[in-house]
Amino acid sequence: MVKVRFAPSPTGFLHVGNVRTALVNWLFARRHGGHFLLRIDDTDPERSRQEYANAIMNDLEWLGLNWDGEAVWQSTRFDRYRRATEELKIQNRLYPCYETAEELDMQRKMLAGRGLPPIYNRAGLKLSDEQKKKYEAEGRRPHYRFLLNDEEVSWNDLIRGPAHFKATHMSDPVLLREDGVPVYTLASVVDDGEMHITHVVRGEDHVSNTAVQIQIYKALGFAVPEFAHMALLKTKEGELSKRLGGNDIRSLREASILPMAINSLLARIGTSKPVEPMDSLDELVRDFDFSAFGRAPAIFDPAELERLNTKLLHEMEYDEALLIMEDLAHFSDEAFWLSIRANIKTLAEARQWWDILHGDIQADLNHDDRAFARSTIASLPPEPWNETTYDTWIAAVKPATARKGKELFLPLRKALTGQEQGPELKKLLPLLGREKVMERLSA
């Protein structure tokens, strides 16, 4: 069975780059009847926050990306990581190093100055017991590196195709920090191996990690999963970051962007398939195929997201809107929704139009337009009103005035709504009612 995982760090809110990774993993698992695991990478106690973990799970549920079973917290698995490090030490694949961050930085600069790649010199392997004791007496605590075998690492990437790395071109990676906390490189391998992850789907910035991790999988006796590395998601300004505002899911939710607008965009950008609004995740599952993914960076364009959002709104039934905007039922009804949906770009605008129809408005009209608006009161048809009422009213107004086109329609729209644009007046008149229309024209 296909089994994948999404392993976010609870150090910030999910942004669209994170969600694209989660979504692709979820679609792949569902396409193959597999298992989607949520794993919270909270091994860094200084930066991890429960509020962010809660927000991550809440956002995934809002998007419809349900995970199978209970979420796994890496902070509860330190004993598993310790066992793995002990096993690697027994194999002489994990060795202590005592260089400070400043010393390592100096080494890298010296290598760069000589035109050499910044590969660690394995000085830690050459330390005697006496030298180690001396360093520890100075208060230094060791970090531990994984000894890479001198061999070529290769795999057939499901997106990038054949990949090859020579271990001699890479530094032995740090697996344990000075404080004994395992880094992502180790914790991820241990979890993937013990949880029987079959496919690792992530961004292409992890390609070099994969080359290292394949050797760690093998050293610990785990089956090596298949890999798919997606081109990174970028904005027109540059690479995405949790620190950039506006592209996190919380901000998009607050802006009343629909979950399926986000899913529709993130599932298709960076692929050969057209970006179009989808009503459900099931449609995206049936259509999922890694062969459609390209190598060029995927560009996230908020304008494209708004376009998809608008299209979905214009076709959305009232019952669907209620499921997404819980308080919609508190101030609206189906007739109102069907009248305004074709003229809104976000669900939040529904509340704005309800307030326009039922609250106070400010109509910016000059003296002549005010007089014209008042003069049309006499032509108002009697109730009951429906969508034909507006045409009947205008047909009676035109012979009594020299106005036509914009000079005729715009003052009436501004007098009745305070807006220059919006839903058709023929749909709004029945919602306003004759008494309120007369009141606003008089004012």
3-state secondary structure of 232: coil
pLDDT at site 242: 44
Q: Give the integer Cα–Cα distance in Å for 16 and 248.
A: 6
Which tens digits make up the pLDDT trace of 272-286? 999 999 999 999 999
Per-residue confidence (pLDDT) for residue 245, from 0 to 100: 45
- The reported pLDDT for the residue numbered 239 is 54
345: pLDDT confidence band, cut at 50, 70 and 90?
confident
Q: Are 416 and 441 in contact (CB under 8 A)?
A: yes
Cis omega before residue 10 (within 30°)?
A: no
Residue 241: is its pLDDT beyond 80? no
Q: For the purposes of burial, counting CB atoms within 10 Å of the CB of 420, is it exposed (0-12), middle (13-18) or buried (19 or more)?
A: exposed
- State how far the Cα of 200 lies from the Cα of 37, in Å rounded to an integer: 11
Cα–Cα dist 159/199, whole Å:
12
Q: Which of 58, 82, 79, 69 is nearest to 8 (CA)?
A: 58
What percentage of the chain has pLDDT greater than the value 90?
A: 80
Q: Using alpha carbons only, give the angle 10, 12, 17 rounded to the nearest 5 degrees.
A: 100
* Mean pLDDT, range 411-434, rounded to an integer: 93
**Is the pLDDT reported for residue 362 higher than 70?**
yes
- Please tell me the number of Cα atoms within 13 Å of 15 on its side-chain side: 18
Tokens of 102: 């400043």
Average pLDDT taken over every residue of the chain:
92
User: Is the pLDDT confidence value at 243 over 80?
Assistant: no
pLDDT tens across 388-418, in order?
999 999 999 988 888 888 999 999 999 999 9
Q: Which residues of 61-81 are buried (b: 16+ CB within 10 A; e: fewer)?
A: eebebebeeeebbbeebeeeb
pLDDT for position 246: 66
Mean pLDDT in residue range 95-113: 92
Band (pLDDT 50/70/90 cuts) for residue 55 is very high
Query: Per-residue pLDDT averaged across 162-185, rounded?
Result: 93
Structural domains in the chain? 1-98+142-299 (3.40.50.620), 367-442 (1.10.10.350)
Q: Is the dihedral of CA 305, 306, 308, 312 positive or negative?
A: positive
Q: What is the pLDDT of residues 113-142, one digit of tens each?
A: 888 888 999 999 999 999 999 999 999 999
Q: What is the pLDDT of residue 303?
A: 86
